[in-house]
Amino acid sequence: MSRCRLADGIFFNSWEDLEPVPLKAIRENPFFKSVTPPVYPVGPVIKQEEHDESAAEYMSWLDEQTPNSVLFVALGSGGTLSGEQMIELAWGLELSRQRFIWVVRKPTEVSSSGTFFNVGSDANNPEEYLPEGFLEKTRGVGVVVPSWASQVAVLRHPSTGGFICHCGWNSTLESIVHGVPIIAWPLYAEQKMNATVLAEDIGVAVKPEVKAGQTVVGREEIARVVRMVMEGDEGDEIRRRVRELKETAAKALSARGSSHESICRVVEEWRALS
């Protein structure tokens, strides 16, 4: 924060309708005005395409599903779970009776970001670490993808109706831009803060709870929140809210939209300085 004042401005990958209260505070609160240069919301800036040679199989399966019926489970570029938590998540998905695509990585007991530097290059056989019988029980209902999947392609597919997400900012924006409700599963860095904001302030996510005396999210709780998002009344409200923000995101980037105008202001200021 001490170095913020050395910058002439900050490009902010968000938009006015997503975070109006923080933006107002940064611009108007005397404290923030004293330490923060002008902030320019220019988002949402997200990936448009991703290349995945193995995508044909899971995308073909997705094509066969009904709209909003599939839960996408992916925990970011480097996120992974402990062995105990992976077992609970697996059986929670099975208990939910919902269709899913799950991007899996080998569990680790060391760090929730343990695969950050080798994602996509690690030898990964889900049969070695998923619970015995899980793949057979969920055959036809779920698809397990080792290591990495084309997240943008899955999120924008009409069959995708929910997203278990680590709440990294890129994944968060991709989910909102494509109108997909979030089940918040933060792992490291700023993700816990993002998850709280998404659930309690913005209203596009739910957070599963760790029950007293437990160290992981239990399978019954996982099944509960999955069913809530995919078929419950609360899920309908979250879906309404995220679709509303999807529309505002498109407007922000369009001609005369808030993010478009924000970039235009920067251009005008640069012209004035030159």
DSSP secondary structure, 203-233, as one string: -SEE---PPTT-SS--HHHHHHHHHHHHHSH
Pick the closest to residue 10 from 21, 18, 22 (CA basis).
22
Residue 112's pLDDT band, with cuts at 50, 70 and 90, is low
Architecture of domain 55-246: 3-Layer(aba) Sandwich (3.40)
pLDDT tops 80 at residue 23 = yes
Q: What is the reported pLDDT for 110?
A: 78
Q: Buried (b) or exposed (e) across 222-247, using 16+ Cβ within 10 A?
A: bbbbbbbbbbeeebeebbebbeebbe
The pLDDT score that the predictor gives to residue 122 is: 57
User: What percent of the chain is predicted at pLDDT more than 90?
Assistant: 82
Look over the chain and give the mean of its residue pLDDT values, rounded to a whole number: 93
Percent of the chain at pLDDT > 70 equals 95
Q: What is the pLDDT of residues 147-186, one digit of tens each?
A: 999 999 999 999 999 999 999 999 999 999 999 999 999 9
| Mean pLDDT value across residues 57-80 | 94
pLDDT tens digits for range 182-207: 999 999 999 999 999 999 999 999 99
Q: Is the pLDDT of residue 113 over 80?
A: no
Q: In the prediction, which pLDDT does 117 show?
A: 46
Cis omega (within 30 of 0) for bond into 208: no
User: Distance between CA 191 and CA 34 in Å, rounded?
Assistant: 27
Q: Where are the domains of the chain?
A: 4-47+249-273, 55-246
Question: Is residue 53's pLDDT more than 80?
Answer: no
Point out the least confidently predicted range of 45-49, 66-70, 256-260. 45-49
